[in-house]
Amino acid sequence: MEKLLDLLKLFLEKHLIPAVVSAAIALLITAYTPQETMLYMHLGQSLYILFLFCLTFAVVKFIIWMTKVIIKKINEAIDNKQEKENELEKLWDIIDDLSISEKRMITQFLNTKNTPVRGNGQPWRNSYLYISSELEFLIDSTSVPRMDDVKNTENNAQQKYGYNVDLYPDIMYKLKEHYYNLLRYSYKKYGRISHFKMEEETNG
């Protein structure tokens, strides 16, 4: 009996409010339950109250748990949004220093859902896309086989000028996924990818 009382005391210390609420609801339901109810007659009053208490206690604890989960998710969303805004501010500082053409290139990736653009592997002869060292950290690149029409043109150049262009593969360029999502968020929310809109910089 003493151990049972100790367990009851420990239970109430940890779950006092849910237990009180559950007991009150169980007693209230019992008071309005007709004694002719099959479950009431089968269990008897004491077990019926205990059954309702356990059932109500489980529901109350579930509601408390769900409330904590929702509050945690809301707080995480607020923290993540603040982190995103802080990172975006740093990214704007970097993009502010890029040229207008580089900013237009970034905007092109955003407008085309980050569709890769084919570029030449030779940085000093890139007639398709120029990637500066300032822009490079934003860009993801993948080597691909050379296009036939480009390869034929450069083979003619090889015969004419005597250098080996086949050593340089074509490269597909696109924004790194993380920066694409961050800049898409920036463009959607603020209508710009830096501290200034493109129109302001062009007119300025």
Q: Give residue for tokens 């996924």.
A: 177
Q: What is the DSSP letter of 167?
A: G
Distance CA 67, CA 90 (A): 35
Other beta carbons less than 10 A from residue 44's beta carbon: 10
pLDDT, position 160: 54
Q: Which pTM was predicted?
A: 0.55
pLDDT mean for each 10 residues of the chain (204 residues): 58 74 84 77 82 87 90 88 88 86 86 82 44 69 63 57 56 86 90 77 48
Other beta carbons less than 10 A from residue 162's beta carbon: 7
